[in-house]
Amino acid sequence: CSRWEEEKKEDGVKWMQLEHRGPYFVPPYEPLPEDVRFYYDGKPLKLSLATEEIATFYAKMLDHEYTTKEIFQNNFFHDWRKEMTSEEQEIIKDLDKCDFREIHKYFVEKNEARKALPKEEKQKLKEEADKIQEEYGYCTLDGHREKIGNFKTEPPGLFRGRGEHPKMGMLKKRIMPEDVTINCSRDSKIPEPPEGHKWKEVRFDNTVTWLASWTENIQNTLKYIMLNPSSKLKGEKDWQKYEVARRLKDVVHKIRAQYRKDWKSKEIKKRQRAVALYFIDKLALRAGNEKEEGETADTVGCCSLRVEHIQLHPQLDGQEHVVEFDFLGKDSIRYYNKVSVEKPVFKNLQLFMKNKDPTDDLFDQLNTNFLNKHLHHLMDGLTAKVFRTYNASITLQEQLKALTNPEDNIAGKLLSYNRANRAVAVLCNHQRSIPKTFSRSMQVLQEKIDAKKKQVEEAQEEVKKAEAEFEDTKDAKAEANVEKKQRLLKRLEEQLAKLNIQATDREENKQIALGTSKLNYLDPRISVAWCKKFGIPIERIYNKTQREKFAWAIDMAGEDFEF
């Protein structure tokens, strides 16, 4: 049997034996050379080691947009001052008087020097990194040697967060062995902490899959060292996730009929649940769990929507019953959408908004717990997230069917694939900011296209000339020349078409992030089956890391796999 289908363990037990080396700790801070200085109010100022280290975090980011944001600057300065000596606190009172430029320049040059190293030197560095990976990057789990995902602790630095995160600029502290809980099996060789240190604790808990954990100081959340996505444990979990979503396919029509019925329920709580479920199903919204006040950015999901996040339009742009959504979702990504909904949904929303202030909850009687309990009752293992996975995967499958033209060449088929993937990313609202290099790379591509067009025109002239010559002489040599020129023209035309496809693809993709859905929401068997069916090499869809993560699907799916 394949390694994906080995013997099952009793419920809740994830492994029988687990042995590893513990995390690899980031090397200690290296002080700046004497001639690289920090200036305050125009004068050089020698900083204490701890203060200097934090100054380098800010200096490294000088050319980044973050350091121009007031909230980032304030958070940084506040946390930096806390770590200063009392003498430094007396002097350094204003961030505007701090000059980090010399430090910034030092790191830029150091970076350039590293890039410019001769091949042998780079090879030596790579070998050192590989040695660390060999030693710390693997564990033994139930007799299998498995790769660990993130075996290094995160280096200290300044917190960035996504979107307009209120904590950006705060100091992310260095993780010490004393912060780390180790998890392994009782009979294994327990990892040694670095010399002079000890672990926070050592556990033997085989109902969880993490190898080490610690609490990070900014969000106060637990961070874990886990197995690599290509490991058997993660692969199985991934596969199970899509199997649950496939089970939803068989009952989704019943669930839809049920929530439609509940729109007319006598209980307002049930109505709210039914409308929220409609949004989760139709728009792939996230459920929106309750969060600690003031702990994180003000982001919401479906259940936590407030009255201010939606506007109702009986008529808009030639459609009726339009709901206009505008809110910050996960990672402070803005969700903006205008959707024509069914009339009972519209009427219910009017009812839910009646006599409420903008900051009141839209679904005031609903929480994710109540919603997920109901979903569990409808189908074992069903949560709001399963709808996102199901709708994403089914959309990809349907779009691939609709868009793929079997007559197209590989480039054409890949454009269709990316368009199908884009439809999913749009559904899931996976956006990205336009890459900084976008206009430059489009310009380069456009220049290539123009040059290729010129070559095509020249080749067309050449074909005409050759044909005229053949008309005159009718000899075999001239005929062979015509064929040669036609072949060249055809090849150039194909290259031009390919460049044009590339330009279209890039343009359509500039604000859409395809990676998130590809890795987390789309059953990889759909893509594997599509590749097999149309003779597309799998590496054109999945890179090496992705192929390792989805090894289970590449093994399993034939060309006629249906989600």
Does residue 9 belong to any structural domain of this protein? no
d(CA 318, CA 316): 5
pLDDT, residue 291, reads 61
**How far is residue 494's CA from residue 361's CA, in Å, rounded to a whole number?**
56
Closest CA to 542 of 517, 520, 560, 518: 518
Predicted confidence (pLDDT) per residue in 369-411, tens digit: 889 899 999 898 898 889 989 999 999 999 999 999 888 888 8
Q: How confident is the model at residue 295 (pLDDT cuts 50, 70, 90)?
A: low
What pLDDT does residue 525 have? 94
C-alpha dist (Å) from residue 447 to 450, 458, 500:
5, 17, 12
Indicate whether 91 belongs to any domain. yes
The Cα–Cα gap between 532 and 537 comes to: 8
Q: Is the pLDDT of residue 9 over 80?
A: no
Residue 290: CB atoms within 10 Å: 10
Looking at the domain assignment, is residue 131 inside a domain? yes
Token code pair at residue 402: 């609709």
State whether 22 and 166 are in the same domain: yes
Q: Which residues are marked as active site?
A: 521
Q: Which domain holds residue 84?
A: 38-117
- Residue 126 banded pLDDT, cuts 50, 70, 90: very high
CATH number, domain at 517? 1.10.132.10
How sure is the predictor about 505, in pLDDT bands with cuts at 50, 70 and 90?
confident
Question: What's the predicted TM-score (pTM) here?
Answer: 0.72
CATH number of residue 148's parent domain: 2.170.11.10
Q: What is d(CA 100, CA 445) in angstroms, rounded to the nearest whole number?
A: 38
Question: Rounded to whole angstroms, how far apart are CA atoms 551 and 146?
Answer: 14
Is residue 8 very low, low, confident or very high in pLDDT (cuts 50, 70, 90)?
A: low
Average pLDDT value for residue range 500-522:
82
Are residues 203 and 183 in contact, defined by beta-carbon separation less than 8 angstroms? yes
Regarding whether 205 and 188 lie in a shared domain, the answer is yes
Asked whether residue 225 falls in the same domain as residue 266, the answer is no
Spatial neighbors of 47 by CB under 8 A, at least 6 apart, are 38, 55, 88
Do 272 and 317 lie in a common domain?
A: yes
- CA atoms within 13 A of residue 350's CA, in its CB half-sphere: 12
- Are 219 and 245 within one domain? no
Q: Are residues 225 and 239 in the same domain?
A: no
Q: How many other C-beta atoms can be found within 10 angstroms of the C-beta atom of residue 100?
A: 20
Give domain status of residue 352, yes or no.
Answer: yes
282 and 367 housed in the same domain: yes
The helix or strand, by DSSP H or E, that contains position 43, with its residue range, turns out to be strand 43-44
Cβ contacts of 305-309, under 8 Å, gap ≥ 24: 305/361, 305/362, 305/363, 306/358, 306/359, 306/360, 306/361, 306/362, 307/353, 307/356, 307/357, 307/358, 307/359, 307/360, 307/361, 307/362, 308/358, 308/359, 309/362
The answer to whether residues 361 and 332 belong to one domain is yes
Q: How many distinct structural domains can be found in the chain? A: 4
At 181-215, the pLDDT tens digits run 999 999 999 999 999 999 999 999 998 989 999 99
Residues 512/426, Cβ–Cβ less than 8 Å? yes
In degrees and rounded to multiples of 5, residue 550 shows phi and psi of: -100, 25
Q: Residue 240: what are its φ and ψ, rounded to 5°?
A: -60, -40
Q: Which whole number is the average pLDDT over 317-322?
A: 90
Whether residue 398 is found in the same domain as residue 547:
yes
Q: How many alpha carbons fall within 13 Å on the CB side of residue 179?
A: 18
Report the distance separating Cα 43 and Cα 59, nearest Å: 17
- Given a cut of 50, is residue 1 above it in pLDDT? no
pLDDT of residue 55: 95
Give the residue from 184, 201, 230 where a domain finishes: 230
In this predicted structure, the answer to whether residue 301 has a pLDDT above a threshold of 70 is yes
pLDDT-derived band at 292, boundaries 50, 70, 90: low
Q: If you write DSSP's letter for every residue of 475-540 in order, what string do you get? A: -HHHHHHHHHHHHHHHHHHHHHHHHHHHHHHHHHHTTB--HHHHHHTS-HHHHHHHHHHHT--GGG
Q: Judge if 70 and 136 occupy the same domain.
A: no
Q: Is the pLDDT of residue 510 over 70?
A: yes
Any domain includes 306 = yes
Comparing 298 with 321, which gets the higher pLDDT?
321
Q: Are residues 127 and 111 in the same domain?
A: no
Q: Report angle CA 497, 524, 300 to the nearest 5 degrees.
A: 100
Establish if 463 belongs to a structural domain.
yes
What amino acid is encoded at 436 in this protein? Answer: K
The verdict on residue 1 lying in a domain is no
Mean pLDDT across 21-49: 93
pLDDT of residue 6: 54
Domain boundary among 71, 94, 117: 117
Reading the block at residue 342, the tokens are: 């069914």
Output the pLDDT for position 290.
Answer: 65
Q: Which of 393, 382, 390, 506 is CA-nearest to residue 443?
A: 506
Write the CATH number for 352.
3.90.15.10
Are residue 174 and residue 291 in the same domain, yes or no? no
Whole-number Å distance between alpha carbons of 490 and 485? 9
